[in-house]
Structure 1
Amino acid sequence: MWASIQRELALLGHRSFAVDLPGHGLDAQYPVAYQAPQDLDAWAQEPSTLAGTTLRDNADVVVEAVRRLAAHGPVVLVGASLGGTAISVAGNLVPELIDRLVYLSAWSCVEKANPIEYFGEPEFAANLMGPLAALNVGDPAALGVGRANYRTADPELLAKLKAATMADVTDEQFRAFLNILQPDESLAVMTGDARVEADTWGTIPRSYIRLTEDRSLPIAMQDRLIAEADALTPGNPYDVHTLDSSHAGFVFRAAEVAAVLAGLPV
């Protein structure tokens, strides 16, 4: 998903590295039952390779990449959406190796342990994720993962998913993006303790890129996360930037995102 932004960063003279978290990228699981024609009953019973993968597992992969990259120069660590939890824990673990953290409409948990705990808060009320429960396949408690059928052909579900995630792009762009999404996400990742620590994470310079049209992680919640972190470390507040983009639509605004990243002090 970072390919378009990496291209723009390269054109600006910057090296970048995209981290595939466990069970994603070329290690992602795409069972035959998920293909077309789909067998949803069989897929609902398919064990997940992500079951039991923890937030710490994700963070450890990020930390290993940071350790290797730090040998070649300053490291600016960027996370989007749920990826914010992995870079937060990495910041807790190796603050001395990270020169700047960047949250792109991402979860930086302070008062509550994880995104799930924030879902019931008033700042989350404008999200459009509720109807998307109809995308779920199988029993998350039994599978250990949330499993979303991104290959659905249901026009109503597709319209709701687009409204929640990428309302500002064309239908063709939206469908292209869906085809890079891996359907499973570990419950242990989503419910792990992602709270940041003032004496480690809080010492790293940090930036937040707000997405004003985000209906998955609403702007009010983004602003709450910024405010909570700034209250935790008032001497080291977020450097804040704003784009009028949807939650994932920023991948089609790569030049703008790359310009913000390239302009950050290191």
Structure 2
Amino acid sequence: MRNLPTFVLVHGAFANSFSFAPLQGELALLGHRSVAVDLPGHGFEATFPAAYQAPQDLAALATEPGSIKGVTLADNVARVVDVLERAKRNGPTVLVGHSRAGITLTAVGNARPDLIDRIVYVSAWCPVDLEVSGYYAEPEMAEVDPGLFAPALLGNPAELGLLRTNFRTADPTVLAGFRQAFAADLTDDEFRTFLNTFQPDENLDAGTSADRARAETWGRIPRAYVRLAEDASIPLAMQDRMIREADALTPDNPFAVRTLEGSHLRWLVHPRPAAETLADLAALAELPGR
């Protein structure tokens, strides 16, 4: 009997394990085990202040404390390593991350490459030559407006010790910005449903130069990158740049590259093609190398 890998799924910014439920259903129908991780301060560990409910009290929301304050990238790594250690008892593991989760995946790969049989970035940050903040100043991100969501940001991050975003805003301009960045190809109901799965708070620690991919550790892990062709928040040009940089770092262990049509969030709302792609990559994980 084949020893199928366990998929360990890691969410992006302001998200949680709940968003992986449809994908996990499709993976299960293909015969695969999976576990979705809530990073510290996410899922049922998140803070949803009463001021975030309707009617909203934005003044109070701007000052309410949040449980994610002080959470670091090292905390995220420890959470994922714990899950990987437990999953590894059952056979191979495939570590999958989306969007901001790529920072955590890379740091986990640097720390414990022995726990990962294949690492998969789904339109996720894979910092190699620069820190993630540095990539935002590069030409590939020129069409991404970093101030697009400014009206939805609440409070002073330095004082709160976290990033707080009002995803329950009714401001049509802000909602249009969210949709343009994340979900231009979803229906209105699909978009609003997904928006309501987001939590208001995210931690501040996005890593430093020490957390970029290292050839001697992370670079030993067989890896794959799933490009999202219509992603407007991490454009295809930036996804391709990170693939090139990683392949230059370890040319003997290049990315296996796949492409899915759709926006930043479509693969989670309509997950069957993604599940089939991950299943294909899982088959690769049962073999040495690619």
Separation (CA, whole Å) in 1 of partners of 2:148 and 2:53: 23
Deviation at 1:119, TM superposition (A): 0.7
The residue that corresponds to 1:170 in the other structure is 187
Separation (CA, whole Å) in 2 of partners of 1:107 and 1:175: 25
Separation (CA, whole Å) in 2 of partners of 1:62 and 1:125: 32
SS at match of 2:23: helix
SS at match of 1:131: coil
The residue that corresponds to 1:182 in the other structure is 199
Deviation at 1:127, TM superposition (A): 2.0
The residue that corresponds to 2:87 in the other structure is 69
- Bigger mean CA deviation after superposition, 128-137 or 235-244: 128-137
Deviation at 1:255, TM superposition (A): 0.3
1:155 aligns with 2:155: no
2:232 maps to a residue whose letter is R
Separation (CA, whole Å) in 2 of partners of 1:178 and 1:78: 22
Normalising by structure 2, what TM-score? 0.89
Please list every run of at least 4 consecutive aligned residues from structure 1 whose deviation after the TM superposition is greater than 6 angstroms.
none
- Where in structure 2 are the equivalents of 1:30-41 lying within 5 Å? 30-41=48-59
Separation (CA, whole Å) in 2 of partners of 1:54 and 1:213: 31
Separation (CA, whole Å) in 2 of partners of 1:104 and 1:185: 20
The residue that corresponds to 1:79 in the other structure is 97
Separation (CA, whole Å) in 1 of partners of 2:207 and 2:112: 22
Deviation at 1:128, TM superposition (A): 4.4
1:130 aligns with 2:130: no
The residue that corresponds to 2:229 in the other structure is 212
Separation (CA, whole Å) in 1 of partners of 2:69 and 2:115: 30
Distance 1:239 1:124, change over 3 A: same
SS at match of 2:98: strand
Equivalent position to 2:37, from 11, 14, 19: 19
Equivalent position to 1:254, from 271, 275, 278: 271
Give CA deviations for 1:151-190 in whole Å, capped at 9, x if unaligned: 0011221111101110010010001001110111111246
Equivalent position to 1:7, from 13, 19, 25: 25
2:45/2:67 contact within 8 Å kept: no
Separation (CA, whole Å) in 2 of partners of 1:108 and 1:120: 16
Separation (CA, whole Å) in 2 of partners of 1:102 and 1:20: 17
Normalising by structure 1, what TM-score? 0.97
Structure 1 residue ranges without an equivalent (≥5): none
Separation (CA, whole Å) in 2 of partners of 1:46 and 1:190: 25
2:121/2:226 contact within 8 Å kept: yes
Separation (CA, whole Å) in 1 of partners of 2:210 and 2:151: 27
